[in-house]
Amino acid sequence: FSENLQCQALPEKVKIVEVGPRDGLQNEKTIVPTETKIHLIDMLSVSGLPVIEATSFVSPKWVPQMADQVEVMKGICRQPGVSYPVLTPNLKGFQAAVKAGASEVAIFGAASELFSKKNINCSVDESLQRFDEVMKAAKEAGVPVRGYVSCVLGCPYEGKVAPEKVAHVAKSLYSMGCYEISLGDTIGVGTPGSMSEMLEAVSREVPVNALAVHCHDTYGQALANILVALQMGISVVDSSVAGLGGCPYAQGASGNVATEDVVYMLHGLGIQTGVDLSKLMDAGAFICRSLNRKTNSKVSQATCKL
């Protein structure tokens, strides 16, 4: 890793994909009332965020937190110019999502076989076949699909994950028709070393402007990993307001990187995001009060107390 790196110019703009209401809340223990979820999304909608992942059309048996998926979709006040993608693990979920008004969906693959089996009870190839149905239906309905690849920098069961495996899954999702592939460091073990190695492999198969990074901050590495990703041409970053969502694989540890902290770094670099940091912090403060928990965002912690 001490060799010269081929780096592209830093992007002038970065699109933030806010996953707090879905990925964040899904990993919170307390079941959040529907009105609270709607209010959170509405507050985020006026902060300048271009994409807000609203909910997930998985079976409430598996993910009780997302049982109110239809009410949330129908209850939010959609801002013009803002996208509200929802997760759809299969055709049934997709149909329910469209019926509830979804105009963008997301599917979730894994770069680790074991993780795929333990998480969604099938192999990686089987999951891709399942998604094929969703892709076909989405194409017919003119609904864009975002693809997620989890465990891109490590797996809680398999440990190390080969960059070529990540590239293979990313390429499959992209070839199937996903407009963007979000590469997730699911357990936050990645460092600038493994991030750049993985991105080099993936960007040989998928154009870099169709890639996003979804970094977890479990080991404190998220912002450093995001910086390296930007230096390699990535211009889409997933994050979660207040750093909502712990890590189910390291109890008590943090999960998603906090949107506030990402925005603070990007703005400090002169990169445009369109996001109003103080409105974002207001949304974070609201959801933390509702959840009766402290924020995971260091920017929020510091700003309240200067």
Residues near other proteins (CB under 8 A) are 1-12, 156, 188, 190-194, 217-221, 223-224, 226-228, 231, 247, 249-254, 258, 261, 264-265, 267-271, 297-299, 301-303, 305-306
CA distance 54 to 32: 13
Backbone angles phi, psi at 57, to 5 degrees: -95, 55
Q: Please, what is the minimum distance in Å from the beta carbon of residue 79 to other proteins?
A: 27
Residue 279 token pair? 């409105």
CB 112, CB 161: distance < 8 Å:
yes
Q: Give whichever of 49 and 215 is closer to other proteins, judged by the CB atom.
A: 215
Which residue, 127 or 196, has its beta carbon nearer to other proteins?
196
Task: Report DSSP state, residue 31.
Answer: P
Tell me whether residue 142 or residue 270 sits nearer to other proteins (CB atom). 270
Nearer residue to other proteins within complex by CB, 148 or 264: 264
Q: Which is nearer to other proteins, 279 or 298 (CB)?
A: 298
Residues 6+ apart with CB under 8 A from 163: 197, 198, 200, 201, 202
Packing angle, helices 91-99 and 124-141, rounded to 10: 30
Min dist. Cβ of residue 224 to other proteins (A): 4
Angstrom distance (rounded) from CA 153 to CA 203? 15
**Enzyme catalytic residues:** 247
The rounded Cα 247 to chain-centroid distance in angstroms is 14
End-to-end CA separation in angstroms for the chain: 39
Least distance from other proteins to the Cβ atom of residue 262, Å: 9
Using alpha carbons only, what angle is made at residue 85 by residues 136 and 289, rounded to the nearest 5 degrees?
Answer: 155
CB–CB of 284/40 below 8 Å? no
* Residue 110 CB, nearest approach to other proteins (Å): 16
| Minimum CB distance to other proteins smaller for 68 or for 217 | 217
Q: Is residue 52 classed as helix, strand or coil in its secondary structure?
A: strand
- Record the tokens describing residue 40, joined without a space: 């959170």
Could you give the CA distance from residue 85 to residue 22 in angstroms, rounded to a whole number? 10
**Cβ 69 to other proteins shortest distance, Å:** 29
Phi and psi for 182 in degrees, rounded to 5? -95, 120
Please name every residue paired with 254 in a beta bridge, in sequence order, or none if there are none.
Answer: 246
For residue 252, the minimal CB distance to other proteins (Å) is: 5
